[in-house]
Structure 1
Amino acid sequence: MNGLINRAIQCFLRDGWGGAAWADAARAAGAPVAGFEPLLDYDPALTGRLVAAAAARLDRAPDCLLEDLGTYLVSHPSRAGVRRLLRFAGPDFREFLQTLEDLPARVRLALPDLVLPAMQLRQEGNLYLLRLGPGVPGIAPVAVGLLRAMADDYGALAVLSAGPEAADGSAEVTIRLLDEGFAAGRDFLLGRA
C-alpha cells in the first residue's frame, strides 16, 4: 500500500494523541517507529495491523478511528493542502458531491502512485449514494469522515453513514443533504488574498 496512506495514519496519531501513541501503535503493528516514507509501497496487511493497533491503543473501534482520520485529512491545519484541493471541486457541497466520480483521476494527476477506488454517485433528490469500488480496505469510514468535514466546510447540514464492506472490498456511503445553507461555511479563496 502506498506510503502516503500509512504516513497519513502516522501524522493523525501524532497530531491527535502524541508521539507516544504513535510509537506504541507502530511497535504493536510491526511498523517502523521512525515513520513511513510517503512515496514507498508497503504491504497492505501492515496498514490493517496499524489501524487495529492504534484502535486498541486508543480504546476505539477501528471504523470510528478511520472516520476521524477522514475528518483530520480535511480539518487539521497541517492538512490544509488536502482541503484546498477538495474545495476546488465546486462552490457548494452539492456541486462538490457531483464531482466525486472524477476524484480518483484528479488525484492520479497530482499523485500518480496513490490509487483511489472507483467512485459512482447516484442521486435521488437530496439523497446521494456513493459507491466505492474495491481496492482500499476501510475506505468507507474514511470517506464518511472526509465528506462530513467537507459538508461542515461548505456550511451544509448532511447526515452520512457507511454500509458494510462487501466481500470484494467495495462499500457504499449514504449522504442525505438536509440543508445546503445551514451555516456559514469556512472562507475559501481560489487565489491568495
Structure 2
Amino acid sequence: MHGLVNRAIERFVRDTYGRDVWIDTIRRLDMGLTEFESMMIYEPQVTAQVLAAVGTRLARGRDDLLEDIGTYLVSNPATEALRRLLRFSGVDFVDFLHSLDDLPERARLAVSDLDLPALELLDQGGGLYRLHVGCPEGDGPRFGPVVVGLLRAMADDYGALAVVEHQGEAGTCEILEIRLLDEGFAHGRAFVLGAGGGAP
C-alpha cells in the first residue's frame, strides 16, 4: 500500500482528534513507528491493522471511518491542495463527475506508483449516476466508502445538493449511486485559479 494512503489516515486522526490520540493508537500496534513516510510502500495488512485500531479507538465502523477520511480529504484546510486539484477537474459538479474516469491516471501523472482503483461513471439520466469503483486485490482496503465521503464533500464544495450512497459490490467493483437533486442548491466554496485563492 502506498505511503500516501497510510499518511492520509494518520493526518486525518491527528488533524481531527489530536496528536495524542494518534500516538496512543499507533503505539498500541507495536509497529516500531509513530508516523508514515508518504513515498514508501507498506504491506496491505499494515493499512488494515491501522484502520482497525483507529476504528476501535474512535468507536467507528470501518466504512464510516473511511467515509470520514474521504470527507476530510476535501474539506479540511490541511488538504487544500487536493481539494484544488479536484476542483480543477470541472467547472460544476456534473462536469466533475464526468472527469472521475480519468482521475486514477491523473494521479499517476503526479505520483507514478500511486495505484488508485479504476473509476467508471454511468449516466443513468434524470440526474442519476452510478459509479463503479474497482475492488482492490488481496487484503487492501476498499476505496468505495472513501469515494462516498469525497463525493459528498465535493457536492457541498460546488454548492450542489446530491445524495451519494454505497450500493454494495458486484463482481470486481463497488457500486455507488449519485442522485443529483439540485446542482445550484447553494453557493459553493470560493475557488479561483490563482494559487492560494481557494481558501474556504
Name the TM-score, length of structure 2 as normaliser.
0.91
Partner deviation per Cα, 1:47-87 (whole Å, 9 max, x = no partner)? 11111110100111111111010000001001000000000
For residue 163 of structure 1, what is the aligned residue in structure 2?
A: 167
For residue 146 of structure 1, what is the aligned residue in structure 2?
A: 150
For residue 130 of structure 2, what is the aligned residue in structure 1?
A: 129
Change (3 A) 1:37 1:155: same
Check conservation: 1:23, 1:33, Cα contact below 8 A.
no
Change (3 A) 1:100 1:14: same
For residue 95 of structure 1, what is the aligned residue in structure 2?
A: 95
Check conservation: 1:68, 1:145, Cα contact below 8 A.
yes
For residue 183 of structure 1, what is the aligned residue in structure 2?
A: 186
C-alpha distance in structure 2 between counterparts of 1:85 and 1:76, whole Å: 14
Check conservation: 2:163, 2:181, Cα contact below 8 A.
yes
Q: CA deviation at 1:160?
A: 0.6
Give the secondary structure class of the aligned counterpart of 1:158: strand
Q: CA deviation at 1:163?
A: 2.5
Q: How many residue pairs were aligned? A: 192
Q: CA deviation at 1:43?
A: 0.5
Change (3 A) 1:6 1:191: same
* CA-based RMSD: 1.5
Gapped regions of structure 1 (runs ≥ 5): none
Q: How does 1:42-57 map to 2 (within 5 A)?
A: 42-57=42-57
Q: CA deviation at 1:28?
A: 3.5
Q: CA deviation at 1:190?
A: 1.2
Check conservation: 1:74, 1:146, Cα contact below 8 A.
yes
For residue 81 of structure 2, what is the aligned residue in structure 1?
A: 81
- What code does the residue aligned with 2:181 have? L
Identity of aligned residues (%): 53
Name the TM-score, length of structure 1 as normaliser.
0.94
- What code does the residue aligned with 1:134 have? C
- What code does the residue aligned with 1:187 have? A
- What code does the residue aligned with 1:22 have? W
Moved more, 15-24 or 104-113: 15-24
Change (3 A) 1:52 1:109: same
Q: CA deviation at 1:30?
A: 4.1
- What code does the residue aligned with 1:51 have? L
